Amino acid sequence: MEIPNTSKPKTFYLGLCLAGAVSAGAYTAGAMDYLLEALEDWQMRKSRGDVNVPKHDVVIPVIGGASAGGMTGAIMASAMHDPIPPVKLAPDPLLAQVPSNKFYHSWVDLVADDMIKVMLDTSDLNQQNMQSLLNTDFIDQIAARALTVSAGAAVKREYLDKQMKLFFTLSNLEGMDFDVAFRSNLPNYNRYIITSHKDYLNFRMAESASDYKADGWIPLNFQKQLNADLAKQAAIATGAFPIIFRPRKITRDGQYLNDLKWFDPITKAADRPFDKGPYKTLNVDGGMINNEPFEKVRRVLIDITGQKDPNQYQSYQSFNSTVLMVDPFPSQPGKFTFDTKLTSVMGNTLTAIINQSRIKPETLIQAMDSELAGQFLVAPIRYGQGTDENYEGRYAIASGSMSGFGGFINKEFRIHDYFLGRANCEKFLRDHFTVPQDTENPIFKEGYSKIDKSVFISEKNNGLQIIPIFSRRKNEPYMPIFSNGQRWPSATQKEISGYRNALKKRVESVLFNLADYSPTEKALLWVGAKILLNGKVADSIIDNALSSLNEFGLLRHQ
């Protein structure tokens, strides 16, 4: 079937893929803050009729995200209805909250400066109903305030498609069964059941429920509260880190799954498709199965542009869309623990399962080719202070410590990562998100005609900026001075060791909630926990935290 081309002649389409990040969502949030600022500045200059402004348009028609990326994508989608003034400079005082900016308020402020105390609170553990190792009630509070928008007139953002699509990856614990027919000598075993745990929840910005196009994309309007609660639940569910954070239940109409083409392999192969009416799922972190859903973002772009031939959308001379992925933890070789201890094998096994489930063989070869135009990546890079050494990937961000949970320890870690995200995005748009100066691509050739192009040329590759940046380059440091007097934050060993009692209390409460013990068993367990177990567990966690912080240069020995 031929894909209809619904693109506009002078418009370039930018699909956002926001990868999972745990507490490093602060980095992605900072990058999105700067992206919105740049697009808003360009739109304002065009609407005023300023001179020397490129005439082409860049429009975001789709945002896809996993885990922390999905949560940030939902905030980005809500920006269609609410103003989000950029946070260009760190607050004064440094730890002051910034409720006017949902990116900053959701990922840096959270609900407390010290989130470890919040997550170790035991108020969620009662009546043997433990659902997660950490208290995650704060996530609901953040989602509620982040995705609630004002009832006034919507902000006009021409760069956000009025029918912008937003989707979340989910890991469906029950899974969806379908079968493959086999010819067998056993009459009752002629079908091979396959269970898919890869799930998606898809939305399209709309004005009313009647805008549904029977394609699986659920009408969404935050301002009118149209399926806004469902989107909020999806944003929370995609970030439900297995075991650590509690799983989330989602109920949607089964018809949405029947209509979505992404589920065709299941709905067409199944004996019966999903029934109309409530379809309930229990979900954990979407990043566990699909942490970087850039292939799905590309699929949406193809539907819009009609450019289904890679030779078209991977060429700078003909492409009219691209995927921009923001990934705080880009793929890097990990450290493998080569021993047979149970704890090591458990960790290695979980890592192997997750890594294997994320493989996308149809896109790996293309993704490794830096000369192709169909995908771009914003990832952390931090320039060394007074040295030529640069830090890349997880070692560039403070939240990269403790397997991505480091940002919960110290608000200054999150502040650092937010402003690094802003700085990296600015550098990317100025110097890397470009097309050749001599391009014959009609979008950019016309967009840059009859203006002085020199101010929009990259210092890195001499290319023309796809999103023009009007502000001057700054030589000043982009990072504030932290409490340690440096531009790279740190915590003290005393601060980390101070969590020991709260950890012991949480471990003790977790033990009591694992099963319905008799009074005698509880008494014995309490004695054992007090004498041996919870103290050793707490000490082990603290030792691992100190080791990780030290590895990342985040520990002050005093």
Partners of 492 in the beta sheet?
556
Reported pTM: 0.91
Q: Which of 456, 489, 522 finishes a domain?
A: 489
At residue 201, the 3 state secondary structure works out as strand
Does some domain include residue 380? Answer: yes
pLDDT digits (tens, 9 = 90+) for 13-48: 999 999 988 899 999 999 999 999 999 999 999 999
Confidence of residue 219 (pLDDT cuts 50, 70, 90): very high
What is the per-residue pLDDT for 222?
93
Same domain? 121 vs 25: yes
pLDDT of residue 455: 93
Question: Is 434 found in the same domain as 525?
Answer: no
pLDDT tens, residue by residue, 92-107: 999 999 999 999 999 9
Judgement on whether residues 452 and 496 belong to the same structural domain of the protein: no
495: domain range? Answer: 491-557
- Average confidence (pLDDT) over 143-157: 83
* Mean pLDDT value across residues 478-492: 95
Number of domains in the chain: 2
Distance of CA 515 to the CA centre of its chain: 35
Does residue 67 form part of some domain?
yes
What pLDDT score does 139 carry? 94
Q: Considering the domain boundaries, does residue 124 fall inside one?
A: yes
- Which residue numbers are catalytic? 67, 285
On whether residue 310 sits in a domain, the answer given is yes
Q: Are residues 118 and 51 in the same domain?
A: yes
Residues 208 and 316 grouped into a single domain: yes
Q: Look at residues 443, 470, 489 and tell me which one is the last residue of a structural domain.
A: 489
CA distances from 416 to 100, 119, 359 (A): 19, 21, 31
Give the DSSP per-residue string, 146-160. HT---SSPPP--TTE
pLDDT band of 172, cuts 50, 70, 90: very high
Is residue 428 in a domain? Answer: yes
Segment 55-96, tens digit of pLDDT = 999 999 999 999 999 999 999 999 888 889 999 999 999 999
Residues 82 and 222 in one domain: yes
517 shares its domain with 481: no
Same domain, 534 and 437: no
Q: Are 474 and 496 in the same domain?
A: no
pLDDT tens digits, 291-341: 889 999 999 999 999 999 999 999 999 999 999 999 998 765 556 667 776
DSSP 24-77: GHHHHHHHHHHHHHHHHHHHHHHHHT-SS----EEEEEEEEE-THHHHHHHHHH
For range 471-494, the mean pLDDT: 92
pLDDT at 153: 60
Amino acid at 493: Q
**Per-residue H/E/C for 468-514:** CCCCCCCCCCCCCCCCCCCCCCCEEHHHHHCCHHHHHHHHHHHHHCC
Token pair, residue 545, equals: 């935290």
Q: Same structural domain for residues 432 and 522?
A: no
Q: What is the pLDDT of residue 265?
A: 75
Please provide the average confidence, as pLDDT, over all residues in the chain.
Answer: 86
Q: Is residue 279 situated within a structural domain? A: yes
Quick: pLDDT tens for 503-537. Answer: 988 887 887 776 555 666 556 555 555 555 556 77
SS3 of 142, please? helix
Which of 489, 512, 531 lies at the terminal end of a domain, its last residue?
489
HSE, CB side, 13 Å, CA atoms: give it for residue 483.
14
pLDDT value of position 518: 60
Residue 386 has pLDDT above 80, yes or no: no
CATH no. for residue 76? 3.40.1090
pLDDT at 268: 67
User: Does 205 share its domain with 83?
Assistant: yes
What's the confidence (pLDDT) of residue 287? 86
The verdict on residue 336 lying in a domain is no
Statement to judge: residues 471 and 497 lie in one domain: no
Residue 187 lies in a domain: no
352-385 pLDDT, tens digit per residue, is: 665 555 555 444 444 444 568 889 999 999 987 6
Q: What is the distance between the alpha carbons of residues 284 and 240, in angstroms, rounded to a whole number?
A: 5
